[in-house]
Amino acid sequence: MVVELHKSGKSSNEISRELGVPADMVRRWSREYSSAGEGSFAGNGKPVMTAEQREIAQLKKALKEAEIERDILKKAVGIFSKSDNKYSGS
């Protein structure tokens, strides 16, 4: 709403007085909206990502899970090799 008022021609100082929002916030929100459009106010700390960014995030998550599984298996092999001497530690 603030951005729409600012786009309609009201000054940031007028909006600030009417709504009790600091004038510098009005200007910042307007700049953010003009650069990112509808994706500028994602809310709840969830960034708006492009398809490539989402894919990278998913791949990073899958890699992290695979590394955790690998580490667990390494530890298990180490434990079993100590107990019955059937496995080499490498």
pLDDT at residue 4 above 90?
no
Query: Is 88 inside a domain boundary?
Result: no
Residue numbers of the domain that contains 35: 2-48
Number of structural domains the chain divides into: 1
pLDDT band at 46 (very low <50, low <70, confident <90, very high): low
Lookup: tokens for 46: 């969830």
Q: Considering the domain boundaries, does residue 37 fall inside one?
A: yes
Assigned token pair, 78: 């180490």
pLDDT digits over 54-89, tens only? 899 999 999 999 999 999 999 999 888 886 665 555
Alpha-carbon distance of 5 to 49, in angstroms, equals 27
Domain membership flag for residue 41: yes
